[in-house]
Chain A
Amino acid sequence: NAGVTQTPKFQVLKTGQSMTLQCAQDMNHEYMSWYRQDPGMGLRLIHYSVGAGITDQGEVPNGYNVSRSTTEDFPLRLLSAAPSQTSVYFCASRPTGSDTQYFGPGTRLTVL
């Protein structure tokens, strides 16, 4: 299994641009989440999904959209990038009935 994969690893955007961060897992996990990590603030939940077709907001959802059309994929869309969205983004998944989360390697995003 490849586990949780994220692309790209690095990205630089200009203010106002849009982009999609990709996340995929091959473990057939129902639960998937997006977190952002900022210095000194730990990780904060952006959006999560409990299964295909079902998504919900986390702690810091503004400026981000998600969709879950398949069990494997959970992309995160930035509609109009802002410098405040400069961060490291992590995708995570966990199987039903387990609390152990599996994290991807992260995407480092810089918005100029």
Chain B
Amino acid sequence: KQEVTQIPAALSVPEGENLVLNCSFTDSAIYNLQWFRQDPGKGLTSLLLIQSSQREQTSGRLNASLDKSSGRSTLYIAASQPGDSATYLCAVRGNNAGNMLTFGGGTRLMVKP
């Protein structure tokens, strides 16, 4: 059974710092991996999606990398801003999982002005 872990569970940084969020998964037979952002009391917004054949994806100040063989993904946020404060979740879709995403528990990020 696929298990997804995100470390740290919470992170507080001053504005302007570059930071890395980590995601690890136990089964490397994945179809793709997604990073989501969740604001308090709101739904999830897809940030980046990496297909299993890709190594990284970039969108603005966000860069996500994928190392399937080691079961790891990182989300890099450059020049963090208070507006980046949210919970970040990663989710993997297995090769035989159909429509099912397996989510990590999330990293709660606070960027202080």
Query: In the complex, which residues of chain A have a beta carbon less than 8 angstroms from the beta carbon of B34?
Result: 99-101
Binds A, one of B65-73, B77-85, B101-109: B101-109
Q: How far is the CA of A87 from the CA of B100 in the complex (A)?
A: 19
Query: In the complex, which residues of chain A have a beta carbon less than 8 angstroms from the beta carbon of B32?
Result: 99
Choose one: A44, A56, A106; the contact of B43 (CB below 8 Å). A106
The answer on a CB contact under 8 Å between A31 and B103 is no
Choose one: A42, A56, A106; the contact of B103 (CB below 8 Å). A42
Q: How far is the CA of A58 from the CA of B99 in the complex (A)?
A: 9
Q: How far is the CA of A90 from the CA of B105 in the complex (A)?
A: 15
The answer on a CB contact under 8 Å between B45 and A41 is no
Q: How far is the CA of A42 from the CA of B99 in the complex (A)?
A: 17
Query: In the complex, which residues of chain B have a beta carbon less than 8 angstroms from the beta carbon of A58?
Result: 100
Choose one: B4, B9, B41, B49; the contact of A99 (CB below 8 Å). B49
The answer on a CB contact under 8 Å between B100 and A106 is no
Most buried by A among B4, B34, B101: B101
Known: A100-B49, A101-B34. A90 touches B99 (CB 8 A): no
User: Which A residues between 76 and 108 are near B, CB-CB below 8 angstroms?
Assistant: 90, 92, 94, 99-106
Known: A101-B101, A103-B44, A104-B43. A42 touches B106 (CB 8 A): yes
**Which B positions have Cβ atoms within 8 angstroms of A?**
4, 9, 31-32, 34, 36, 41-46, 49, 51, 89, 91, 93, 98-106
**Between-chain CB contacts (< 8 Å), 13 pairs:** A40-B9, A42-B106, A43-B103, A45-B100, A50-B98, A90-B43, A99-B31, A99-B34, A100-B49, A101-B34, A103-B36, A105-B42, A105-B43
**Which A positions have Cβ atoms within 8 angstroms of B?**
4, 31, 33, 35, 40-45, 48, 50, 56, 58-59, 90, 92, 94, 99-106
Other A-B contacts than A41-B105, A94-B99, A100-B49, 6 sampled, CB-CB below 8 A, are A45-B99, A50-B99, A99-B31, A99-B32, A99-B49, A102-B46
